[in-house]
Amino acid sequence: MPPDAPTTAPAGRIAVLIPVYNERGRLRETLESLRAQSVAFTVVLVDDGSTPPLHVDVHDYAYPIVLFRMARNGGIEAALNAGLELIEAQGFEFVARLDVGDRCAPARLATQQAFLDESPDVHLVGSDVEWRHDDGSLAFALSLPSRHQDISRALHHTVCLIHPTVMFRTSVVRAVGKYSYEYPAAEDFEFFWRIARRFQVANVPEVLLVTRFDTNGISITRRRRQLRSKLRIQFKYFRVDEPLSFAGVAKTLALMSVPYSGVVALKGMLTRRRLAAP
């Protein structure tokens, strides 16, 4: 699968995979946040049929950028899978996910690469994350379980691996397959479940990503579809001997009747309480 636009020579062991669709000028801040990374990497942009087509001057950046154009808009699952095929073909060892509008901490890639190098049994690592408004104010933040045994239990109840924070070994894709098309708007949750059932996963207990609180994001505009997909995933991996399986299904059903504004308000309140705690 050759790239369809000018590229610079790939570098490093990490491919940063960014799907893009009608990005509304938010991509530059994401690419700018990568300038401070201290390890070599290559950005793989997958233009999912944007109108007009995505334009990036790859020579504006000191790191390599590969731009692949989808023939038509196929959705995020198709864009991610096309990116994974390209990354596998070019022999990258690690895949780091990133979304348009999100910003990496300067140490993100180095921290996660070192974590995977030092923990050969771990095949995917995420991190804590903050959501911020356009003015920089904090909407809410998540401190996530860091150990595999805690994450694998928590998955029954909640999403505890945040998609744009993760870095995983490319070999994982050969073992568990690519993103499924069967769970619209929750393809990441099901992908993480397959990985966690086969391999060790972890979270770095520090904020390595600031994600833009986007009122047009999938989690908001496709929330009901996402919750339906999440519920199907919970039933797929349901365990009658795991109380969190029952709690997770109950929570998802409850969320279907709660407006998203209420969820955001609750998350914000919990974040403020945690930050205020001695």
Summarised one tens digit per residue, pLDDT across range 71-81 is: 999 999 999 99
Which of 190, 19, 10 minimizes the C-alpha distance to 98? Answer: 19
In tens, the pLDDT along 2-21 reads 445 445 567 899 999 999 99
Q: Is the residue at 139 inside a domain?
A: yes
For 15, the domain range is: 1-101
Q: Is the residue at 242 inside a domain?
A: yes
Q: Is the residue at 208 inside a domain?
A: yes
Question: Where among 101, 135, 152 does a domain terminate?
Answer: 101
CATH number for the domain harbouring residue 92? 3.90.550.10
Q: What is the pTM of this model?
A: 0.90
DSSP string, the chain: ---SS------SSEEEEEEESS-TT-HHHHHHHTTT-SS-EEEEEEE-S-SSPP---GGGSSS-EEEEE-SS---HHHHHHHHHHHHHHTT-SEEEE--TT-EE-TTHHHHHHHHHHH-TTEEEEEEEEEEE-TTS-EEEEE----SHHHHHHHTTTS--S-GGG-EEETHHHHHH-S--SSSTT-HHHHHHHHHHHHSEEEEEEEEEEEEE--TTSHHHHTHHHHHHHHHHHHHHT--TT-HHHHHHHHHHHHHTTS-HHHHHHHHHHHHHHHHH--
Same domain, 85 and 130: no
Same domain, 134 and 87: no
* pLDDT recorded at residue 277: 64
Same domain, 70 and 130: no
Same domain, 142 and 263: yes
Domain count, the chain: 2
Tokens 């505009």 belong to which residue? 221
Question: Which range has the worst mean pLDDT, 32-46, 85-99, 150-164, 213-227?
Answer: 213-227
Q: What's the token pair of residue 60?
A: 């504006």
Q: Is the residue at 108 inside a domain?
A: no
Same domain, 150 and 94: no
Q: Is the residue at 154 inside a domain?
A: yes
Would you say the C-alpha torsion 170, 176, 182, 186 has a positive or negative sign?
negative
Mean pLDDT of 127-150: 93
Same domain, 144 and 202: yes
Given a cut of 60, is residue 243 above it in pLDDT? yes
Q: Is the residue at 169 inside a domain?
A: no
Same domain, 93 and 129: no
Same domain, 275 and 225: yes
Same domain, 134 and 199: yes
Given a cut of 80, is residue 27 above it in pLDDT? yes
* pLDDT recorded at residue 258: 78
Q: Is the residue at 74 inside a domain?
A: yes
Q: Is the residue at 83 inside a domain?
A: yes
In tens, the pLDDT along 200-225 reads 999 999 999 999 886 655 555 688 89
